[in-house]
Structure 1
Amino acid sequence: MTADGRDPETGKLLPGHSVVPRDRWHPGKPTQAELIRKKLEPHREAVLDKAIDLARQGDPKSMTLVLQYLAPPARPEGERFNIPRLAQATTLQERADAIIEAVASAAISAETGAVALGLLEKYSKLIVVDEHERRIAALEGRGPGSVVEVIDACDTSEDIA
């Protein structure tokens, strides 16, 4: 038997051995943070009073701790933005161009543009999935359309040439 409980010949785990660590968290078992919180709870006021006293004396770490506890940083709100030409764009390429143009002209921030392009990417993936589902349904003969309609929709003169 090896140190991790494996058979040296086969490399298989022997009965009663596991590769999962014994101290691994399991559902229903309190997390480390919950254990610390439970242990500190009876002394919460005293710890907070001491941190405030140290902050008053000028201790920078205590100041940071007290400020984070008493006035946590606000979560950023989602930015509302208006992208010119986006409503008139009919293709995904035109929509992406409108977003990039808005970033280039400083109508929106680069971060907002990245978020908008990310949304556009997700939207395009949904369109592809929807189109695939429609085609599969038509091929299986269970949806609107038939195999001939799907082939006709995909068939262009450039594909044939």
Structure 2
Amino acid sequence: MPGGGRKFQKGQSGNPAGRTKGTRNRTTIALEALLEGEAEAITRKAVELAKNGDTVALRLCLERLIPVRKDRPIRFALPPIETAADLTKATSALLVAVATGDITPSEAAEFGRLVDAHVKAVEAADFAERLAALEARTGGA
């Protein structure tokens, strides 16, 4: 091979044995060894700094006590979606939920994407069913 480099097969690892699952990073292991036995003292110091007005320490403590919620359950009445025609009922329910403040516009947008994916799945299943019926009538020709 020109340049002395190796050429690997596409889709095949250059190191099939690789790192075994669950193997920990050397840096993580070293840091844990450094902090061994000190976690309680460090935690107490962070709390002490937070109590004394250190806003960074306060934020750190609060983030550990009450992590930022990434998602929340959304509860509202969504009409069943069995055909693509039911999509307007579902989007109307989403609009009403936003208008009444039950969900945020961004939550409605995310939910709308889920509804859209469901409609596409319904359409695909309907198409497959119609195709199978057509093939059965024509003898699969």
Contact 2:87 2:119 (C-alpha < 8 Å) held by counterparts: no
Count of residues in correspondence between the two structures: 130
User: So what's the TM-score if we normalise by structure 2?
Assistant: 0.61
2:111 counterpart (108, 116, 127): 116
The one-letter code sitting in structure 1 at the alignment partner of 2:119 is S
Residue deviations 1:34-64 (CA, integer Å, cap 9, x gap): 5377333421101101112222222111111
Residue 129 (str. 1) matches residue 124 (str. 2)? yes
Looking at CA atoms only, which structure, 1 or 2, has the larger radius of gyration?
Answer: 1
Instruction: Specify whether residues 14 and 113 from structure 1 end up closer, same or farther in structure 2 by C-alpha distance, changes over 3 A only.
Output: closer
Deviation of 1:77 after TM superposition, in Å, equals 2.6
Residue deviations 1:61-104 (CA, integer Å, cap 9, x gap): 11111222233345643121236xx46x9714423552465267
1:13 counterpart (6, 21, 33): 6
Contact 1:54 1:62 (C-alpha < 8 Å) held by counterparts: yes
Q: Secondary structure at the match of 1:78?
A: coil
Residue 49 (str. 1) matches residue 44 (str. 2)? yes
Give the structure 1 partner of residue 29 of structure 2.
35
How is 1:64-103 mapped onto 2 (pairs within 5 angstroms)? 64-74=59-69, 76-82=71-77, 86=79, 91-95=85-89, 97-99=91-93, 101-102=95-96
CA distance in 2 between partners of 1:93 and 1:67 (Å)? 42
Instruction: Specify whether residues 25 and 136 from structure 1 end up closer, same or farther in structure 2 by C-alpha distance, changes over 3 A only.
Output: farther
- Aligned-pair identity (%): 23
Ranges in structure 1 where 5+ consecutive residues have no aligned partner: 1-6, 141-145, 151-161
Contact 1:103 1:110 (C-alpha < 8 Å) held by counterparts: no
Instruction: Specify whether residues 48 and 93 from structure 1 end up closer, same or farther in structure 2 by C-alpha distance, changes over 3 A only.
Output: closer
User: What's the C-alpha RMSD, in Å, of the aligned pairs?
Assistant: 4.1
Whose helix proportion is higher, 1 or 2?
Answer: 2
Residue 63 (str. 1) matches residue 58 (str. 2)? yes
Contact 1:52 1:63 (C-alpha < 8 Å) held by counterparts: yes
User: So what's the TM-score if we normalise by structure 1?
Assistant: 0.55
Bigger RCO of structures 1 and 2 (CA < 8 A, at least 6 apart): 2
Instruction: Specify whether residues 72 and 103 from structure 1 end up closer, same or farther in structure 2 by C-alpha distance, changes over 3 A only.
Output: closer
Ranges in structure 2 where 5+ consecutive residues have no aligned partner: none
